[in-house]
Amino acid sequence: METVDRPLALLVNPTSGGGRTKALLPKVESELDKRRIAFRVEPTRGVEHAIEEALRAADAGEVPVVMSGDGLIGAVGGALAGTEVPLGIVPGGRGNDLARALGIAADPAEAVAVLAAGQTRVIDVGEANGRRFLGIASVGFDSECNRIANETRFVRGNLVYAYSVPRALAAWKPARFTLRIGDESLRFSGYSVAAANSSTFGGGMRVAPDASLDDGEFDVVMIGEVGKLRYLSNLPKVFKGTHVDNEEVRIVRASRFELSASRPFTIYADGDPLTDLPASLRVLPRALRVVAPPAPS
């Protein structure tokens, strides 16, 4: 565990969380001022602009702090991977799953307290077809849920993910997935495959409850065929992580694997589209420093 004591470059996505980030910004600024932490605010105009500003801040000796949702945090974190530059996080999205896994509270005062403490930990970074992510990359039924969630504007907060499931389920037909892990091929028909670097996605769904951010492996979660009503009735179990006991769920661990499916799918990661199948996925072990509380022992 190291500590950082540098000025902060607060990269703010004003549209994140349906405007939640913009509304929280004055509180964050006030908390930083109270602690006499040097900072500047840089509104972002998109992913590429945020990455550009993060790298510019790093070159200037500042700590890039992303105030947004998981998608932008993942993109900036991926760009910083392999450097010694730490990433700061102030949760500002709908799901805030990576912050939750790291022990960073959604409350602005508590998130600023983490920045003020300046402690860092090192985590793994995922990669799919060369595109990096920090949390969970998933494909199949999850692709449809993410697409619907991202297109929905009238449901607030993480309820949008619960709303998207029955909408996607109505039109869903099982797909055939093929995973190649080393010399072994796994084939199954069903709903989805998730490469989990972290435990949680979708605003608190513990799809991979035992996944670790720093073990050098994905928890690869495969959900096979099951009736639609049973799938829907099992949804509450995912928030507790107890769905893994169901017979249609299989989990293997791998540091890299190849993935394809019987029809086209987009892989979503950290809530945003990442790449298309077929895909090569791998873990970049301990590639990113983040400003966060110490990992649980």
- pLDDT of residue 4 exceeding 60, the answer is no
| pTM for this entry | 0.90
Q: Are residues 210 and 229 in the same domain?
A: yes
Domain endpoint, select from 95, 125, 155: 125
Residue 276 belongs to domain spanning: 131-285
| Contact call for residues 265 and 177 (beta carbons, < 8 A) | no
- 177 found inside a domain: yes
Indicate whether 292 pLDDT > 70: yes
Predicted confidence (pLDDT) per residue in 131-151, tens digit: 999 999 999 998 888 888 776
Mark whether 139 and 258 lie in a shared domain: yes
* 19 has a pLDDT exceeding 90: no
Residue that the structure tokens 């077809």 belong to: 129
User: Residue 167 belongs to a domain with what CATH number?
Assistant: 2.60.200.40
Asked if pLDDT for residue 1 goes beyond 50, the answer is: no
The string of pLDDT tens digits covering residues 37-52 is 999 999 998 899 999 9
Judgement on whether residues 173 and 55 belong to the same structural domain of the protein:
no
Structurally, the chain folds into a number of domains equal to 2
Of 125, 158, 178, the one marking the end of a domain is 125
209 located within any domain: yes
135 falls within a domain: yes
Residues 261 and 167 in one domain: yes
Query: Is the same domain home to 120 and 135?
Result: no
Q: Is the pLDDT of residue 72 over 50?
A: yes
Q: How far apart are CA 283 and CA 287, in angstroms?
A: 9
- Please give the pLDDT value at position 160: 62
Residue 291 lies in a domain: no
State which of 93, 125, 157 marks the end of a domain: 125
Q: How far apart are CA 207 and CA 194, in angstroms?
A: 8
Give the range among 104-118, 136-150, 238-252 with minimum mean pLDDT: 136-150
| Non-local CB neighbours of 222 within 8 Å, separated by 6+ positions | 177, 179, 186, 188, 190, 192, 193, 249, 250, 251, 252
Separation of alpha carbons 8 and 266, rounded Å: 35
Same domain for 106 and 157: no
Q: Is residue 156 part of a domain?
A: yes
Q: Is residue 292 part of a domain?
A: no
Residue 226 shares a structural domain with residue 150: yes
- Please tell me whether residues 81 and 180 are part of one structural domain: no
In the predicted model, is pLDDT for residue 162 greater than 80?
no
Nearest CA to 183 out of 251, 249, 250, 254 is that of 254
Residue 52 CB neighbours (<10 A): 14
293 falls within a domain: no
Q: How confident is the model at residue 219 (pLDDT cuts 50, 70, 90)?
A: very high
Average pLDDT over all residues of the chain:
90
